[in-house]
Amino acid sequence: MKKILFIIFVAFAFSSCEDFLTEKPKDLMDPAAFYNSDDEAIASVNGVYARLNYYYNNGGGTNGYSYYSCLGTDIGTMTGGRENNGQHYYHVYTMTPDIIDGRMRGTWRELYRAIGDANLCISRVSASENISDGIKDRVVAEAKTLRALFYYMLTNWWGDVPMWLEELNVTEVGGEIPKTPVADIRAQMVKDLTDAIPYLPEQYSGSDVGRVTKWAASMLLTKVYLWQQDWPNAKATAGSIINSGDFSLMENYEDVFGKDHEYNAERIWEIDYVVDIHTSTLPTKYNIRGVDKEPNLSGAINTNLGYGLHVASKEFLETFDPEDKRYNSYDFYHSLGLDESEYHYHYITKNMNLEDPKGNTGSNTIIYRLADAYLMYAEAENELNGPTADAYEKINTIRTRAFDDSSKMLSGLTKESFRQAIMDERKWELGFEFQRRWDLIRWGKLVEAVKSMATTNPWGAENVQSYHSLLPIPPAEIVLNPALEQNPGY
């Protein structure tokens, strides 16, 4: 049964600010009148959860998290006529002033609003004498996890950025907040997450399903450890998730995804959506658009329900072993047995929804799942000790599901070739799941990956530079905060 979550917006949130350095007291509820009960504490953190919708439901427009994580990489492209339009600057690596101070600035501002909401929740709930200890500990832990996630996004996009952890007093800071080194911000993420994990439940039930659990926070913590190249802690944390007993890999890859498989044993954290109530537009971005005149399945399913904004590139699909059962999840019409000459684009089957209304779907969005923990563990173990039996066991567990042939299991690799195997396996297993760009940047492989797409994305292959691993700071934000310095290359 669907759980209706995260649709409560708190009136005192920073969402009404003109910018993250300007308060409008008339828009804010007096905090002293709030945070006086368990229900109000929960409502405050629900307001922080609500911010997730902007990123994972493409509320961020063409700078949404799903667009930016796959376009302009080595896996994704768009349907004809859209690849090189100015809106999709991250695909072709052309940064224009109107884009930087438009969509890109919108993402910057929304992330800081979310952090402001989290800081307010943490500060006021912690200080309240009217909230029970159990709820107080859990709510603060949830807010710290979400704050770490928002800083994870900020640093992945921009690197060094301003960081603050308290309620922002604009009068005291004078509108100038310098950048904090990314290493210091990631250290704070680790602190927030390690502080939070002991107070988060391993599972929720009823209407609370979908909130941050101990294991969701542990997944994010593992990812931060990988950025830090803290291999021992990455291995230990990923291992704790795998060995928790709370999750298991689905037998068939395609059964991980789709509206009929929500809250399955492999999903660690997902955002709940409900048609007509708390709806998602994300599957519509993957669904087939009618203008391309693709084959239509007449009858109960009308395939022409989408915008075709995310499709698999031919170069990506050509990297698959012909026997890899995951291939069909990235090529919808191929999965139906059609010859490639009968259709134009390779639609991402696992992220489509052909049942719900266009732009109004109830498909949950997966944030983390167990297969990712296996591959993070294998990567960390290889970096620590080379391709040990333990490392092979983790990656081959994922490959066992993808192949019926035991000869496809990996063996006899060097540390370097195992590292490449991890890079490839993450691409095939986790493609179009908010991972690829960050993986490529973390490995120092973004430019190489974009240049490998020269046939499908010649503009990106020609324009991409090493400094594109970070976005430019929006100039309008530098005007507001003169302590900011522009990122190199811009």
pLDDT tens string for the chain (490 positions)? 344 343 333 333 333 333 434 333 334 445 556 789 999 999 999 999 999 988 887 555 445 788 889 999 999 998 886 666 666 788 999 887 777 888 788 889 999 999 999 999 999 999 999 999 999 999 999 999 999 999 999 999 999 999 999 987 544 445 689 999 999 999 999 999 999 999 999 999 999 999 999 999 999 999 999 999 999 999 999 999 999 999 999 999 999 999 999 999 999 999 999 999 888 989 998 999 888 888 887 655 667 778 888 899 999 999 999 999 999 999 999 999 999 999 999 999 999 998 898 889 999 999 999 999 999 999 999 999 999 999 999 999 999 999 989 999 999 999 999 999 999 999 999 999 999 999 999 999 999 999 999 999 999 999 999 999 999 999 999 999 999 999 999 9
Place of tokens 């068939």: 252
* Per-residue pLDDT at 174: 52
8-state DSSP, 102: I
The pLDDT, as a whole number, for residue 15 is: 38
The count of other CB atoms within 10 Å of the CB of residue 255 is: 13
In a domain, 247, yes or no: yes
Same domain? 53 vs 186: yes
Q: What angle (nearest 5°) sits at the alpha carbon of residue 431, between those of residues 192 and 447?
A: 85
How much is the pLDDT for 169?
57
Q: What is the CATH number of the domain that holds 232?
A: 1.25.40.900
Same domain, 68 and 184: yes
b/e code 391-415 from CB counts within 10 Å (16+ = b): bbebbbbbbebbbeeeeeebeebee
Residue 138 backbone dihedrals phi, psi, to 5 degrees: -70, -45
Q: How many CB atoms lie within 10 A of CB 175?
A: 13
Same domain, 128 and 228: no
Same domain membership, residue 463 and residue 389: no
Same-domain status, 257 and 309: no
Indicate whether 148 and 74 sit together in one domain: yes
Q: Tokens standing for 273?
A: 């959506």
Q: What local confidence, expressed as pLDDT, does residue 24 receive?
A: 39
Indicate the DSSP class of residue 473.
P
The whole-angstrom separation of Cα 470 and Cα 490 is: 10
Whether 469 maps to a domain, the answer reads yes
Same domain, 104 and 176: yes
Domain span at residue 415?
213-272+365-443
User: Minimal CA–CA distance to 153: which of 453, 434, 476?
Assistant: 434
| Whole-number pLDDT of residue 135 | 98
Q: What CA–CA distances, in Å, run from 115 to 8, 182, 199, 317, 481?
A: 17, 16, 20, 38, 17
Contact 130, 160 (CB under 8 A): no
Are residues 221 and 125 part of one domain? no
User: Are 428 and 291 in contact, with CB atoms under 8 Å apart?
Assistant: no
| One-letter amino acid for residue 300 of the chain | A
- Number of domains making up the chain: 3
Quote the pLDDT of residue 12.
Answer: 35
Same domain, 68 and 139: yes
Q: How far apart are CA 340 and CA 338, in angstroms?
A: 6
The answer as to whether 208 is a domain residue is: no
CATH of the domain at 192: 1.25.40.390
On whether residue 26 sits in a domain, the answer given is: no
What pLDDT was estimated at residue 112?
A: 94
Task: Tell me the C-alpha distance between 32 and 41, whole Å.
Answer: 13
Q: What is the pLDDT of residue 25?
A: 37
**Cα 265 to Cα 328: distance, rounded to the nearest angstrom:** 22
Residues 130 and 266 in one domain: no
Asked whether residue 37 falls in the same domain as residue 131, the answer is yes
Beta-ladder partners of 76: 312
Instruction: Please provide the size of the chain in residues.
Output: 490
What pLDDT shows up at residue 291? 85
